[in-house]
Amino acid sequence: MPMNPRQLYDKVKEGLRTVKGRNALTFLVFLAISAVFWVLMALNDEVQHDYRLKLKLAGFPDNMTIISGANPTVSVSVKDKGSALMKFTWNTQPELTVNYDEFSKVGDHNLLMTQAQLNSAVRNIFGSSATIIAVRPDSLSLHYTTNPGVPVKVRIDADVRPAPSAVAFGRVTLSTDTVMLYSNSKERSRIKTLTTQPIILTGLTDTAHVSAALIVPPGMRAVPSQIKVTIPVEPLVTKTRKVEISQRNVPAGKRLVTFPSMAEVDYLLPKSLYNSDSSPVKVVVDFSAYRPGEKKLPVTVLPLPNYYRFVSVRPSEVEFVIEEK
């Protein structure tokens, strides 16, 4: 039975009255002091760490759209005392903000931040005591446009294969069906659709939510560049319906009487349709399948909607008699 706090306190107090208990307490105190001194010494040593800085562009004109070169992160290797780097190790991802006026224009629609400028921006984050070992990329080269974007439709390239016990049922939805396409090329006005990277999903048993990147021609940028796709998938459930057996190809002037006249059909359908299922289920016997001397005809279930699955029909054969009308 676990001890309550009072019992635990009394137990410890009693233990400290013994020589062994006092020795254990002394050992623990010295161990804690040693650990503190070790941490302080370690923080005073020079160490090297790698960081991924989140890149943030600031002060850019509203009519300027970056086409390429703006990597989401900049990787840096930095050497400094452990105490100086501790805040970057334990805090959230450091952010590197670079302003528009820190770039130089190079040719048409290109901006450049040199290696020296980028290193200086990184040093401003870590302080003058830090040694910048490496920065990747070593410079920032941005390609931009001031042309307005053109709306482009999104087309999904998907191969979805649910598990045998499920079915893709319902409308596939997108976070957006239109994106804005930016470029310095006049070709942007001729592009009407952008296709996603192939989405291949197998064995699905429930609705899938995926992000898909768009395939964008070189020298162009789509905003957004990724879309969220929702593919509805439902489990299949079994339903049984009793239906009248219809007839086909009965000779003129004849009447076909089957025994029984009704059949039970087992089939699978999407779970959400179970209570509202109104799709016709038709069962037939075809007199053209009759052969002299045979006493039974096979029972056939006509094709069901494509999101249904036929399981079985009872009976699979029926006895019959032919009568004159």
Res 246: pLDDT: 93
Run of H or E residues at 180: strand 178-183
Among candidate residues 120, 145, 170, the one where a domain is terminated: 145
CATH number of the domain enclosing 204: 2.170.120.40
- Identify residue 233 by its one-letter amino acid code: V
* pLDDT (tens digit per residue) in 21-80: 555 556 565 555 554 444 444 445 677 888 899 999 999 999 999 999 888 899 999 888
- Answer yes or no: do 83 and 131 share one domain: yes
Q: Are residues 204 and 219 in the same domain?
A: yes
* CA distance linking residue 254 with residue 256, whole number of Å: 7
Question: Within a 10 A sphere around the Cβ of 17, how many other Cβ atoms?
Answer: 8
Does residue 124 share a domain with residue 97? yes
Picking from 321, 194, 203, the residue whose alpha carbon sits closest to that of residue 256 is 321
The answer on 55 and 137 residing in a single domain is yes
Residue 301's nearest CA partner among 312, 290, 287 is 312
Tell me which of 214, 231, 248 is where a domain ends: 231
* Domain count of the fold of the chain: 4
Structure tokens at 252: 């003129």
Report pLDDT for 94. 83
Burial label, 140 (beta-carbon count in 10 A; 0-12, 13-18, 19+): buried
Same domain, residue pair 35 and 78: no
- Residues 56 and 139 both lie in one domain: yes
| Domain range enclosing 192 | 150-231
The model's pLDDT over 92-113, given as tens digits with 9 standing for 90+, comes to: 678 899 999 999 999 889 999 9
CATH number of 253's domain: 2.170.120.30
* Domain closes at, from 231, 260, 277: 231
166-180 average pLDDT score: 94
Q: Are residues 52 and 139 in the same domain?
A: yes
Tell me, yes or no, whether 38 and 51 share the same domain: no
